[in-house]
Amino acid sequence: MHQHIDIDYIVRLYRAYAHHLDRVREKQRELLVPPTSLRAQLDDIEAEVT
């Protein structure tokens, strides 16, 4: 079965998993604190959707 992906579906996913995404983002921020060579990418949020 294929799920039709549209903006409503993405919004529902974000609402359902908002707490988990917040925790992951906080961990990512911790990894990006200097000194590190890691840099946030502009497509990081897009990657969450895909």
Question: Residue 44's pLDDT is what?
Answer: 61
Confidence of residue 46 (pLDDT cuts 50, 70, 90): low
The CA distance from 26 to 1, in Å, is 34
Confidence of residue 45 (pLDDT cuts 50, 70, 90): low
CB atoms near residue 17 (< 10 Å): 13
CA angle 41, 43, 45 (to 5 degrees): 105
Q: What is the pLDDT of residues 6-26, one digit of tens each?
A: 999 989 988 999 999 889 888
Q: Is 23 left (phi over 0), alpha (psi -120 to 50) or beta?
A: alpha
